[in-house]
Structure 1
């Protein structure tokens, strides 16, 4: 949408769910492309271990991963002007017993491994008072499984520490090491403290961020790459409740306000001192007190601690004043808040600079911040409308409405593997999503003069969690 030309690797070199990508093919592709590039955005796990999910599953030794990492030093030496933006993801301690995104044994031992994770970190922080709980948690897990699981984490942490060394050496422009599905206590928090200590020792904090996030980090780093040489974008944060900054998150280790500050910094943005001086408004729908998984939640989410109609009124005022507004809906994880989505229909949604409501609060914020920070650079209005409409289709129409309907219609199959029900799920998905998609476009985007062309909606993997919605927005052909 900004007119930047983006090159991506061939699909055969990239991971597919838990099937690893091909690091050798990625290396060859990078050597070919780097000569003509201004910037490179690279995921450490994809380059060195075949992908973010495969990095939790493959047995590649540390020496192999570190040898692949050396490609970045090679590229920088060959092309000194190339700006390399890099990110890695601290291995999560998954909240669900998912045997596909984790090692297969996690489906059976996930609960016990989570208990060990918490006990280990509590002992590390609070000392011998937590020793008995740690010993009990260790005995509850077969030694070979615990050793393998911890060993995977230690290998990936060593890779991240090596990336910090590359940052200190000047090979990398910026490095984000983020925490996926984290919490106050756990091995991810333990790893974060080790990474922070290394950053202290190296003195690299001006070019380093560590905070809760994962899938959205490329948005932040692409934003940094595109805005290179420009002043930081200034963001005015508008909450749905006066205490929104203190709202608790399910998959993050800090309240909403601190999470937002971290995501702004990662994308090279700064908080504005007033709405008048802001480059964009980040309108954030927070829960009243704390996120919840099931809508509606009247105990901690939809409470008198916020006022959604007033929030929507404020967004309308911002839009009428010509401000760039990017809306981040983080009241519930994994989809838009249905009540807010209904209220938003009274607004001119096509005039939003950005929208996000998917997966974790960090995922949503990272993409919404990127939309806002790039709003002033938009050159391709069809590209922008396609990106904006795509988020609304996925985050609101699918995640919040269609996905739970499809799951109910199929009799609530396993969230991890649809098996033979995949074809039925995709038929249900298309039948339920298509009329909603067409109605949303007609109500909010048809008047833009742009045209929408859609492909066949389907699932990325044999599970309902991730849908694929091919959309192509174009300028209308001139008449005559």
Structure 2
């Protein structure tokens, strides 16, 4: 019998709202999500009253709840960076979860709540308006402040720190919101301690080694340690993949199983790479994500239920998916041997998930060519290579673990094909090509004016070309439809993939 799961996403973008529904479509979970009339759009927050009404209704008799605390109290990920809500109102919204727990004591509740990010560049696309003017300086103020407090700031950095000029009202607004948000992180931990949550992930959105996110992380970690919540509250880099990971944990919980994962790398030094926009070795984050999903890591194929192949350079993650030769990948890594190992594992009946972490913000054409040459493109249990390392890892792990239960269903095939088309196709190639042509239509990267129209048609045409040239195994069997740009910009894309009608 299927278990009813209520899922409240971080926001309404496909990666947060659609991915979990697509991955677990034919699983043992019956997922219920808020409708578009409840969820907000980018900087417009969700309808809080409607969300509470939805939760009261749908959690009665439900078996599980996976909830973004940021959606509940702020109205979504971007509103969490913009809001002017007072703490009293936020505490009231958070306390609503106690009502949910009281109404259904047997409900399994997994939550996630971000540590607010501090982007490194000047852009107000997802930040306050002033971030376009002084975002870089705000980031550097936190970077230098953190290093000074740790006693590791250099004389040159000290000099640069003293030269920073940020309008007082801008910095005050930013830091006041950070203070409120980290206080809410701590109050959420108190609900975990009281038993309102069963498990909690506190992801660091676009983390960096030093800065305001690192400072806030230390405050939150101190509380986790003081309350001895280390096994119930995980904190690691990530954001948009956590919904998938926690739904996976729910699936494993109801199956009473801890999938064993053998992690394999293309170079002996790859586990020690710190990916872009993250603050720790990739191997550390991978083990957090597997554990957060309800699995364990094991040392060999013989011990494994599934294999996670991690494709990443020997010393670094490359910043742009330009698909040009790189010594870090071509010389210091051995992708060919990893793909041969995948063939061996699959022949032994062990599913293989592929995490494409070569580039930030896009898949590797070289890796795609390896998989196509080996005939493995549609035989693996998972593939992902979009945005950050953690985003890709969480999506891959969720697909692969669900595959253990559901197998090679039509929905699995469609989502797998979509990942290649979106991650390697759109993010790795098509997005840049279309962006170069926007100016002639009076558009730019951050404003294509509409969800569907000229830009989305160009995306469709370029995706078709990419699939025909680089993914023949997908082009021959699947078709793309409903291409849209959900935030009317080029960064993310939405579309559907389905099997071609062979009549």
TM over 0.5: yes
Q: Does 1:120 align with 2:150?
A: no
1:16 matched to which residue of 2? 41
2:433 matched to which residue of 1? 405
Instruction: Tell me the CA shift for residue 97 of structure 1.
Output: 2.0
Alpha carbons of structure 1 residues 338 and 126: separation in structure 2 relative to 1, 3 Å:
same
Q: Does 1:393 align with 2:418?
A: no
Distance 1:176 1:470 in 2: 30
Instruction: Tell me the CA shift for residue 291 of structure 1.
Output: 1.2
SS at 1:211 equivalent: strand
**Of the candidates 289, 308, 312, which is equivalent to residue 335 of structure 2?**
308
1:257 matched to which residue of 2? 283
SS at 1:281 equivalent: strand
Distance 1:463 1:445 in 2: 26
**2:268, 2:314 within 8 Å by CA — same for their partners in 1?**
no
1:198 matched to which residue of 2? 223
Q: Does 1:5 align with 2:30?
A: yes
Distance 1:419 1:109 in 2: 26
**Of the candidates 62, 68, 73, which is equivalent to residue 37 of structure 1?**
62
| RMSD between superposed Cα atoms in Å | 2.6
Instruction: Tell me the CA shift for residue 207 of structure 1.
Output: 1.0
Alpha carbons of structure 1 residues 324 and 473: separation in structure 2 relative to 1, 3 Å:
same
Q: Does 1:271 align with 2:309?
A: no
Q: Does 1:353 align with 2:381?
A: yes
Alpha carbons of structure 1 residues 445 and 235: separation in structure 2 relative to 1, 3 Å:
farther
Alpha carbons of structure 1 residues 343 and 463: separation in structure 2 relative to 1, 3 Å:
same
User: Counterparts in 2 of 1:197-216, with a 5 A limit?
Assistant: 197-216=222-241
Distance 1:55 1:465 in 2: 20
1:427 matched to which residue of 2? 457
**1:95, 1:181 within 8 Å by CA — same for their partners in 2?**
no
2:316 matched to which residue of 1? 290
Q: Deviations over 1:88-125 (max 9, x none)?
A: 11111113322121111101111110111101211232
Distance 2:381 2:167 in 1: 51
Q: Deviations over 1:68-102 (max 9, x none)?
A: 11111111011000011100111111133221211
Gaps of at least 5 residues in structure 2 are 1-25
**1:90, 1:188 within 8 Å by CA — same for their partners in 2?**
yes
SS at 1:455 equivalent: strand
**Of the candidates 160, 163, 178, which is equivalent to residue 153 of structure 1?**
178
> Matched residue pairs, number?
473
Q: Which moved more, 1:292-301 or 1:16-25?
A: 292-301
Distance 2:62 2:313 in 1: 42
Distance 1:198 1:130 in 2: 33
1:59 matched to which residue of 2? 84
Distance 1:32 1:130 in 2: 59
Distance 2:96 2:450 in 1: 42
Q: Does 1:163 align with 2:188?
A: yes
**1:453, 1:472 within 8 Å by CA — same for their partners in 2?**
yes
TM-score normalized with structure 1 length? 0.92
1:182 matched to which residue of 2? 207
Distance 1:131 1:71 in 2: 49
**Of the candidates 402, 407, 419, which is equivalent to residue 374 of structure 1?**
402
**2:301, 2:345 within 8 Å by CA — same for their partners in 1?**
no
Alpha carbons of structure 1 residues 101 and 41: separation in structure 2 relative to 1, 3 Å:
same
Instruction: Tell me the CA shift for residue 186 of structure 1.
Output: 0.8
**1:175, 1:209 within 8 Å by CA — same for their partners in 2?**
yes
TM-score normalized with structure 2 length? 0.88
Alpha carbons of structure 1 residues 438 and 18: separation in structure 2 relative to 1, 3 Å:
farther
